[in-house]
Structure 1
Amino acid sequence: MSARHFDRHRARAVRRAADRSQSVVAAEVGVGNSAVANWEAGHTSPDPEKLPAYAAALKSGLDDLFPREGLPDLADLRCDAGIYRYETAEVIGTKSAGPVTGAERGDRRLKDRYIPLLAEKYGVSEVELRQAEDRSMAAAKARKSDAAGGPGSPEPASERRSRPPGTLAEKITEILQRSYPGPDGPPSDAEIAAEVNMRAGAQLITDGDFENLRTGATDKALPAVLDALADIVGVSRMYFEPDEAVAAQVYEGLKLLAAAKQGAVGRVRARGLGAQGLPPEAMALINELVAEMAEKQQGDAGG
């Protein structure tokens, strides 16, 4: 669960700026008079289900006042709607909240008939609800891997969430979710594959092939496929390169700059790089820096 961040100092400052008393805010949030005082003092923290009403009482946006890093899972969507888990039983027409509890824990997926009911109640699209469900399932799988422990076991889920995407699958998933934030979500695997093939001018990939890349079933893709995908989502081709390859290119650039600083300007500017070297744009930038260094060196010598 990517919980929202509650900063009691900011909440107090915003309340005072809005000229609202603690008792008035408490009444609008639906808690006792002392609750807001205890939140601001750091004695307790509000339930995540209370944060939407809390932000509204302080006349602030939920994302502005209580930001969240990362993308929401099922529990996050429920809390953002201000709904407690037990209340979902009435939403989906069951005797208990068991189906929602199981899905939030990643034990089992929601039945199809529950999806439109929950999506409407949470104020999201069915696509967004399914995507949040996928994150809940993935988090549960990660927790089980973490619990297994031992040498070679995957890193804890908390650490994975705090670092940038590393694998090709993670990078594809992240950039698609960021590039298509609307209610319809990212295009389907078939749509992405068709667009890649159109931009590449050849039949390079099927929807099944792209699904394998997106889910991590395979981590190898033709360079032309990644070129087209980078063009579709508007990122540098280097985004899809393995981290070590990007690091090698950065290191190569640093070596070039170091050589320039030591006075080996001619050798740097004339040096050619192979396929593993810097891309033309980066090389052009470095050459501009080298030229500036050369001018400065000449000016210092003339002075």
Structure 2
Amino acid sequence: MPVRRFDPQALLLARRECGRKQAEVGVLVGVSGARVSAWEKGHSVPDPEKLPGLAKAVDRDLDELFPRDGRPDLADLRADAGYTQAATKELTGTKTPGPVAAAENAKHRLEERYVEALAAKYGVSVEALLRAQERSFGIDVPEPDETEPPSPRDGEGLPETLAEKITYLLEQLPAPLSDAELADLGNGRTGTEVLTPGLVRDLRTGAVRSAEADALDALAQALDTTPLIWSQDADVQRVIAETLLLKNEIAALAARGGERQGLSAELLQFVFDEVDKVRAETQSGGGATARP
């Protein structure tokens, strides 16, 4: 079951941004303000079926605030609709939640008479519910609209905005990283405390379009790249993007003993030299290039 990732600090920042108190959020979710406080401090984690209401209470999209890696199974669809397993007996018109529990635990598939009713209550199509059921039984069925993401080398597909670059670089990592993990990694590699999960999230989603140089440097370190990648200079962007792609260095980093390391000194020097060449060609009378 691909459980949604819960980030206490992301919840705290979202609540503060929407201007609601812990007690107000608690009323909307059906818990006490003290329980919300415990969630924000990381002392406890909300039940999965509480997450949709919690995201709504702080005016955030569920997938943005509590992302999930992977495709949903039956339990995920139920939780995303805000139902406990015990509550499904009312959805199926049975005396116990047994039919749903059996399907979620890969014991027996749902009888046909329950499928349409559950799909309607979960807010999904019958086909989507059946695909989720197969995943509960260990069969990873893809969604029909899933396609390979376009390669940045195709036509005008090079990432341009800060959010697009972060998303692209995240896709190149050997394993997915949460906003909190990126913040910890960047801070650890630079020996600073400039990144927070909330800032990383806002930069990744485009809610914030710029940041201080030290924060961007830490983010570059966490993403195994050079801070030059954030440059708005079109020539610099082109050189770095083509360098990373044509040299296939990101793939090499992923295979380098299973460890996450920064770009090699050789590649960094290559990037700097290429940037110097481009600037020398495009800027007449320019001085020496400043390097971070």
Normalising by structure 2, we get a TM-score of 0.50
TM-score between the two structures when normalised by the length of structure 1: 0.48
Larger Rg: 1
Point out which structure has higher relative CO (alpha carbons under 8 A, 6+ apart): 2
